[in-house]
Structure formats: structure tokens, C-alpha cells
């Protein structure tokens, strides 16, 4: 019977986090262990904390590594120390509340990794008012027959539209086949209006790139070679992997901030827990100043009014 590796105690700022089973292999394809995952998150600490700061956060946990079952967890796992912070959320569909992780310091991230978290999926609002998003998320979601060249083309169109609006977009790889672009917004609108604005933007990108882009919500209505600009990632309780979040895939890919110039150069597979720490040490957090570039959604809401006045349907309700 194999013996368990001894636990490791780590000092993370003013906290001590005990990491059990540090040698458990989480990513068999590359031989990366639980401790490797912890060390990755320590290496990108400022970046992951900036991405999660004071946001409700759903956890994707793999208690036995990728070879075992994946757990989507809204509620904070039991046994948290008193310095792990939470925010209470109400879920109308289930008529219940849940206390979700609300990161304010790096030790809380490392504790969540100790509890087998691989992926961090934060809300686009913060705990001061969870019903008013301060982040507009543009998700470029490739179809089954799409390739990275198409993602690049659409990203450039999206960048062009953002520039015309006077909005500063912060791109990152998704950790899969797509690209995300984040725009900081003032927390003055509810989720419904942010979704309307996001759909109006998506439709403008579609108008400029009709052979590459679709805004059709139902998969059956999409060309498999079209890229979907997923406006519903701005719906309440819809989350995507944070900047610097590892993804639960065999090569331990990372959702990684990139510059606009790099979009033409990089490939999604470039970014793993093996490569991103060196990049972070050299470049720092490319999303570090996102809070300094706040965009007013008013022009996009005017576009939404225009579209709806000419018969375009409002945003489809997500499942």
C-alpha cells in the first residue's frame, strides 16, 4: 500500500497554510503535483489576487487530481480558517443562499488549492454590491470547426470596435481554444443591462465580420465554423476562469493575460503552469491597471435600444 507524502507547511504572508498530500499527481500528462500547483499560484500571486479581489468565486475542485471527479463548488468547503473570507449570495432558482469564497489575500487562494481547487471562476461583480457588475466580459468562443487564426481575426475586430468606443480592453487566453477580453465598467447597472450592452457590442462585431462571427444563442442555429461572441457570460452567476487560473486540462494550461500585440504571435498552448511563472516574473500582471480604465456603458445601451427598436430580439435567457 503506497504511503502518503508528509504534509508541507507554507508561510504565505502572515498566514501558515498546511498542504496535505503535496506529491499527489494532479496532471498526469506532465507529472505536475499538488505542490506544483501551489507553487504556480504563489508565483503569480499578485495577478491571481487582482483577478479575484472581493469577487464571489466558484471553485472547480479535483480531489483526486484530473483522474478523478470534478466538483463545481459554490459553497466554501468546510473547515476553512477564520481568515478565509466569504460573501453570501442568494440563488432564486434554488431559493437558497451560499457563502462563496471572496479572496482578499493570497493565503486564501493557497488554502483553496489545498482543498483541491484547480480553477477559480469569479463573478463579474464585487461583494460591495453583487448585483451591479463592474466587469464586462467579451468571450470569443470558437465553434467546432474554428481555429486560432479565426480567433485572432475576430479579436482584432473587437479591438477596433472597443477603440472606437473609447473602451480599454484587456485580453487573455481562455486556457482553452478561445480568447477573453475584459473591460472595467462603473458598477451602475444590473446584469440585465450589462448583458444588453454586451449583445449590442457582439452584434456590431458580427456586422463587421459576418463570415467569422455569430451571435445566435442556440447551438443548433450556429454554423460550426463560426465563432460565437458569448454575451451571456455577463449573466448573473455565469462565470469564466479568472486571469491566471489554471484549467483542468491534461497539460495544465493557464488563462493568461496577453498584450494586444501578442495576440498575433502567441498560441494558447504556450501558457502552462511550467511557463507562466517565468513570464510573470519578467512582465508582471498585464491586467494590473484595469481599474484605472473605467468605461461608461451608455453608448452600448444606446446601440441596444437602436437594435431592439428595429426588431432585434433582446438577449436570450441563459440556462
Q: Looking at residues 277-295, what average pLDDT do you find?
A: 98
Residue 157 lies in a domain: yes
pLDDT reported for residue 1: 44
pLDDT digits (tens, 9 = 90+) for 222-253: 889 999 999 999 999 999 999 999 999 999 99
Q: Within this chain, do residues 298 and 176 fall inside the same structural domain, yes or no?
A: yes
**Range 132-145 burial, b when 16+ CB lie within 10 A, else e:** bbbbbbbbbbbbee
The verdict on 69 and 206 lying in the same domain is no
> Residue 177's pLDDT is what?
95
Q: Is residue 208 located within the same domain as residue 271?
A: no
Task: Give the list of residues 6+ apart from residue 33 with CB closer than 8 angstroms, or none.
Answer: 22, 23, 24, 25, 26
Q: What is the mean pLDDT of residues 87-103?
A: 92
Is the CB of residue 229 less than 8 Å from the CB of residue 138? Answer: yes
| DSSP state letters, 256-318 | -B--TGGGGT--GGG-BTTTHHHHHHHH--TTTTGGG-EE--HHHHHHHHHHHHTT---PPPP
Per-residue model confidence as pLDDT tens digits over 153-205: 999 999 999 999 999 999 999 999 999 999 999 999 999 999 999 999 999 99
**Whole-number average pLDDT of the chain:** 95
pLDDT grade for 7, boundaries at 50, 70 and 90: very high
Beta bridge partners of 307: none
Residue 105 lies in a domain: yes
The count of structural domains within the chain is 2
187 and 304 together in one domain: yes
Statement to judge: residues 143 and 231 lie in one domain = yes
Rounded to two decimals, what is the model's pTM? Answer: 0.95
Q: How far is CA 133 from CA 195, 290, 298, in A?
A: 10, 14, 15
Rounded average pLDDT over 307-313: 91
In-domain check, residue 3: no
In terms of domains, do 41 and 146 share one?
no
Asked if residue 302 and residue 178 are part of one domain, the reply reads: yes
Is 70 exceeded by the pLDDT of residue 32? yes
pLDDT of 196-229, one tens digit each? 999 999 999 999 999 999 999 888 888 899 999 9
Confidence of residue 68 (pLDDT cuts 50, 70, 90): confident
Percent of the chain with pLDDT over 70: 98
pLDDT at 67 over 90: no
Task: Residue 173: give its domain's CATH number.
Answer: 3.90.920.10
- The verdict on residue 317 lying in a domain is no
Q: How many alpha carbons lie under 13 Å from residue 40 in its C-beta half-sphere?
A: 27
Q: pLDDT band at residue 3, thresholds of 50, 70 and 90?
A: low
Give the pairing type, strands 32-33 and 25-27: antiparallel
Where in the sequence is the domain holding 302, given as residue range(s)?
135-237+292-309
Question: Does a structural domain hold residue 319?
Answer: no
Structural domain includes residue 278: yes
Looking at the fold, whether 164 and 221 belong to one and the same domain comes out as yes
Does 302 lie in the same domain as 202? yes
Instruction: For residues 55-68, give the mean pLDDT.
Output: 94
**Does some domain include residue 269?**
yes
177 assigned to some structural domain = yes
pLDDT value for 5? 77
* Per-residue model confidence (pLDDT) at position 319: 61
Q: How confident is the model at residue 41 (pLDDT cuts 50, 70, 90)?
A: very high
**Are 116 and 186 in a shared domain?**
no
Same domain, residue pair 195 and 301: yes
Express as a percent the part of the chain with pLDDT over 90.
Answer: 90
Please give the average per-residue pLDDT across 250-262, as a whole number.
97
**301 and 160 in a common domain:** yes
pLDDT above 70 for 2: no
Amino acid at each position: 500500500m503506497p504511503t502518503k507524502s508528509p504534509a508541507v507547511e507554507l508561510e504565505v504572508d502572515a498566514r501558515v497554510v498546511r498542504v496535505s498530500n503535496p506529491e499527489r499527481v494532479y496532471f498526469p500528462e506532465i507529472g505536475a503535483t499538488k505542490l506544483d500547483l501551489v507553487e504556480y499560484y504563489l508565483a503569480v500571486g499578485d495577478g491571481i489576487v487582482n483577478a479575484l479581489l472581493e469577487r464571489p468565486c466558484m471553485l472547480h475542485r479535483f480531489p483526486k487530481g484530473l483522474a478523478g471527479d470534478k466538483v463545481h463548488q459554490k459553497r466554501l468547503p468546510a473547515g476553512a480558517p477564520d481568515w478565509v473570507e466569504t460573501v453570501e449570495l442568494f440563488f432564486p432558482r434554488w431559493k437558497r443562499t451560499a457563502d462563496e469564497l471572496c479572496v482578499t489575500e493570497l493565503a486564501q487562494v493557497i488554502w483553496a488549492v489545498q482543498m483541491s481547487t484547480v480553477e477559480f471562476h469569479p463573478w463579474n461583480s464585487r461583494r460591495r454590491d453583487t448585483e451591479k457588475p463592474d466587469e464586462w466580459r467579451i468571450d470569443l468562443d470558437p465553434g467546432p470547426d474554428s481555429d486560432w487564426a479565426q480567433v485572432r481575426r475576430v479579436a482584432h475586430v473587437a479591438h477596433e470596435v472597443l477603440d472606437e468606443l473609447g473602451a480599454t480592453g484587456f485580453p487573455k487566453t481562455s486556457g482553452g481554444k478561445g480568447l477573453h477580453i475584459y473591460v472595467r465598467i462603473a458598477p451602475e447597472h444590473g446584469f440585465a443591462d450589462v448583458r444588453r450592452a454586451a449583445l449590442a457590442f457582439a452584434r456590431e462585431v458580427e456586422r463587421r465580420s459576418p463570415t467569422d462571427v455569430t451571435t445566435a444563442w442556440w447551438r443548433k442555429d450556429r454554423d460550426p465554423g463560426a465563432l460565437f461572441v458569448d454575451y451571456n457570460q455577463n449573466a448573473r452567476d455565469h462565470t469564466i476562469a479568472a486571469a491566471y487560473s489554471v484549467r483542468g486540462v491534461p497539460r495544465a494550461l493557464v488563462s493568461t493575460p496577453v498584450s494586444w500585440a501578442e495576440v498575433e504571435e502567441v498560441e494558447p498552448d504556450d501558457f502552462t503552469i511550467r511557463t507562466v511563472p517565468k513570464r510573470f516574473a519578467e512582465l508582471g500582471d498585464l491586467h494590473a491597471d484595469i481599474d484605472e480604465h473605467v468605461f461608461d456603458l451608455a453608448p452600448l445601451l444606446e446601440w441596444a435600444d437602436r437594435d431592439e427598436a428595429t426588431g432585434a430580439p433582446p438577449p436570450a435567457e441563459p440556462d
